[in-house]
Amino acid sequence: MSEATGRTFSVEEALEILREAFSPLDCVAQSKGLGREIAFEVSDGPRTLWKKQMALHLASKDYNLRRLIMDARNSIKGAGLKLDPWEMPQEG
């Protein structure tokens, strides 16, 4: 995994990163609270595996978003499910 860079993401970038981080499972990510929060839910069809929301001012930071994703991925893998390899998108 690449080093945290201190980058800041737009809400659209953060949501797209979340949506791609849990393949092959489904991830629905959206902004809530008039754009003040992001929420995401990972499922394997009818069963919700992970659900979380975070204030946008936190989730838009590279380190916080990476940690949120890795915590979710580790929990999902710990439950015996397989995820495709993933890395935080590189800057540029």
| Span 70-83, average pLDDT | 95
Contact 40, 18 (CB under 8 A): yes
Instruction: Band the pLDDT of 3: cuts 50, 70, 90.
Output: very low
pTM of the shown model: 0.88
Sheet strand arrangement including 37-43: 26-32, 37-43, 48-55
Alpha helices in the chain (DSSP H): 11-20, 56-59, 62-78
- Render the burial of 39-65: b for 16+ CB within 10 Å, e for the rest: bbbbeeeeeebbebbbebeebbbbebb
| Span 46-52, average pLDDT | 93
In the predicted model, is pLDDT for residue 2 greater than 60?
no
What is the predicted pLDDT for the residue at 92? 60
The percent of residues above 90 in pLDDT, for the chain, comes to: 82
